[in-house]
Amino acid sequence: MNTLFERLYGHEAQAVYFAPGRVNLIGEHTDYNGGFVFPCAINFGTRLTIAPNQDRCLRFRSVNMEPVVELPIDQCFAPLPDRCWVNYPLGCIAQLATLAGGLPMGYDMLFEGNVPLGAGLSSSASIEVVTAYAFSCLLGKNLSLIEIAKVAQHSEHSFAGVQCGIMDQFVAANGRQDHALFLNCDTLEFMQVPIRLDGVAIVITNSHSPHRLDSGTYNERVRACQKAVECIRKEKEIEYLAQLSPEDFARVQHTLTDAELLRRARHVVSETQRTREAVQALQQGDLNTFGLLMNASHRSLRDDYEVTGVELDTLVEAAWQTAGVLGSRMTGGGFGGCTVSLVREDAIEAFKKQVSRVYTEKTGLTAEFYIARTSDGVHIVRNAN
């Protein structure tokens, strides 16, 4: 990577940073509703190689994406047009530059990611978090990992235009190897839960049907949940849907006279409860119950939240019919992307064969499989100083 950096920029790198992607085991579309999520950081991620320059310019290059972008340092405070990929890191740089009273110099940057783009494994959060962390270090701000996650989320809101919750950025910053992160997205209280799978693997299946949160459909779900909260407030004061227990929801659901709002709210409330139960099951080593809760999560995302689609449903239903699969569901924002399955290790090859065959026959697409390994959160890989 340093050789490529030197060839592109003509000088050595100062430091290399890495931030992981994530897979969410359960707890989908609950993060922006103040609920619980249960993701783990994975070994796919984004590496940022960086060095200062004397030209007072910010130069952005990616091994994976176009275009190459160069900006004077005083023009880093506004997003670029046409949903340019540079907006993800640029929004983070703008915030750190503001905290530091401006950028003292320019920087040459090279991003390299092995998170499959459009797969719903949070490539965008990985880019944001690695940039926020790098500039926090380089500018001497030394933000906490929670503050890094907040900077990254704000970049996605203000520069990329996606009103996401904080889950993706939080786990990219705070993940821990061999653990999943049980996060309360309202209070940001979290617990690292050891993952003991005992002969079971976490298998990610890429539908190769691109997942795009910035298509507008994601933001529509956010607005629907906000409308549901407004309706429920006529009877019960809440800030987020996830503050409702299933019993609370049964008492106030009559305020949701719009059938679509009722379905959206029902998913959030039930998914928040499922996530609590799934964490308890994992702590008790009850992977069968965990798998059943994953299945129920997918059905809710399919029927109540309507964010799955033919490709993800086909992958999940094929998994459900395969021996050795404890549970399977879509993961990420939906509208394409990936599924996550718990598969007994001795059944992985049969799982791949069966799911591939069914998926290609029904959709004409080819699935791709990854065995997920857990990872630590953002960190420095190499510092020349």
Q: Active-site residues: which are they? A: 168
Residues in the chain: 385
Which two structure tokens, joined as six digits, stand for 71? 């900006």
> HSE on the CB side for 260, CA within 13 Å?
10
**Separation between Cα atoms, residue 240 and residue 36, nearest integer Å:** 12
The distance from CA 328 to its chain's CA centroid, rounded to whole angstroms, is 18
**Separation between Cα atoms, residue 123 and residue 44, nearest integer Å:** 9
Asked if residue 131 lies in contact with residue 89, where contact means CB atoms within 8 angstroms, the answer is yes
Count CB neighbours of 296 within 10 A.
18
Cis peptide before 67 (omega within 30 of 0): yes
DSSP assignment, residue 34? T
> HSE on the CB side for 91, CA within 13 Å?
27
**Separation between Cα atoms, residue 333 and residue 296, nearest integer Å:** 17
**Separation between Cα atoms, residue 107 and residue 251, nearest integer Å:** 56
Q: Identify the helix (H) or strand (E) that includes residue 102.
A: none
Map residue 363 onto helix, strand or coil.
helix
Rounded alpha-carbon distances, angstroms, from residue 229 to 159, 241, 273: 26, 6, 18
Map residue 51 onto helix, strand or coil.
strand
Q: Scanning the structure block, which residue is given the tokens 């309706």?
A: 231
Per-residue 3-state assignment (H helix, E strand, C coil) for 217-265: HHHHHHHHHHHHHHHHCCCCCCCCHHHCCHHHHHHHHHHCCCHHHHHHH
